[in-house]
Structure 1
Amino acid sequence: MTGWDISPSGVGSVVSTVREAADAMNEGITLYGRSVQGAMESVGVLSFGDGGAAPGGGRAAGLVAVALAEFVAGTERDVAFLPLRASNSANGAIEATNAYVAGDLEQAWNAQRQAALAPDVTALLEASRKQAGEKG
C-alpha cells in the first residue's frame, strides 16, 4: 500500500468518462428492451385452427416471440451486469481516492478491493421486476 500515487483529478476525469459510458449503456439497454418487446408484439401468434385462439381461449405467442423471450431471459443477468459493474467500479474508485486523500490507506485498500468484486445482479433484477410489476 505504501507505493500508491493517486491523482484525484485524474480519477475524477476517468470516473466521469466511465459514468458517461454507463449512461449510454443504460440508454442502449432501454432501447434494446423496447425493441425486443416491439419485435415480440409484431411477429404474430400461433394459430390453432380456430381463429387463432389458444387452448383456454386466449391467443398464444408465436414461436419467434417465444424464442425472443427465451433469449432475453437467458441473457438478462449479463445485460444487467455491465452497467452495474461500471457503477460499482466508479464508486469504488471515488471511495478509495477519498480515503487516500484523507490518509486512510487501509480504508482506501478496502474500497478498492470491494470495487473489484463482481456485482451480484440478483437484487437489481428483483427490484426491476417489482418496479415493472407496479407499473403494469
Structure 2
Amino acid sequence: MASWDIQPQGVQGQLKVVGAHAEDLGDALTTLLADLREAAGAAGTAVPGSQAATLPYGPVMPGPTLKGPTGASVLSQTSSGPVAAALVAYAAGRSKDFKAMADRCQAAVLGAAKATNEYVQGDLEAAKNAQSAARNVQLDALKDFGGKQR
C-alpha cells in the first residue's frame, strides 16, 4: 500500500448507497423465508383426500426447524409432505449462505467506515488493519470503533 488518497465525503456517500442495497437484500431474504414458510404450510401431504386428515398413532416427533441468525425459527415443517420437507431442507441448506451474505455486507461497510476514520486521524496502520479485517470478514475486529487510546 504505497499511498492513500481517500475523500471521506465520497466514502460516506457510497456507504449510504451500499447500506440501502444491504437493507434491500435483507428485505428480500426475509420475504423469501416467509414465502417458503407459507409454501411449506400449504404444501399438504402425499396422501390423497381424507386420508391426509387421519391422525397418527402414538407419539409424533415434530418436524425440523431452521434457526435464523438471531436464533428465532424462520421455517418449520408443519406439513409432513415431501414438498414441505424439501422446502425445509432447502432453507436449512442455504442458511449458512444467507448469513455469509449478511456478514460480508456488514464487514464491507464497517471496514470502509473504520479505515476511513483511521485515515482521517492519520493512523494508516490502523486503516490498513481495518481493510484487512473487512476483507477477511472479521466482524469482531470491526465492531470496536474505539481504536487506540490517544
Q: TM-score, normalised by structure 2?
A: 0.72
| Amino acid aligned to 1:93 | A
- Residue in 2 that maps onto 1:94: 113
CA shift in 2, pair 1:26/1:91, >3 Å? same
Q: Deviations over 1:44-94 (max 9, x none)?
A: 024495843335365851100000000111111111211221111111100
Q: Counterpart amino acid of 1:24? A: D
SS at match of 2:36: helix
**Paired-residue identity, %:** 32
Q: Aligned residue for 2:129?
A: 110
For residues 119 and 3 of structure 1, do their structure 2 counterparts lie closer, same or farther at Cα, with a shift above 3 Å needed?
closer
The alignment status of 1:53 with 2:55, answered yes or no, reads yes
1:20 aligns with 20
Aligned to 2:31: 31
**8 Å Cα contact 1:53/1:60 also seen in 2:** no
Partner of 1:3: 3
Match of 1:78 in 2: 97
The structure richer in helix per residue is: 1
Structure 1: gaps spanning 5 or more residues = 121-136
TM-score (norm 1): 0.78
What RMSD, in angstroms, separates the aligned Cα atoms of the two structures? 2.3
The one-letter code matched in structure 2 to 1:89 is: A
Find the aligned partners of 1:52 and 1:3 in 2 and give their Cα distance.
Answer: 73
Deviation at 1:3, TM superposition (A): 0.9
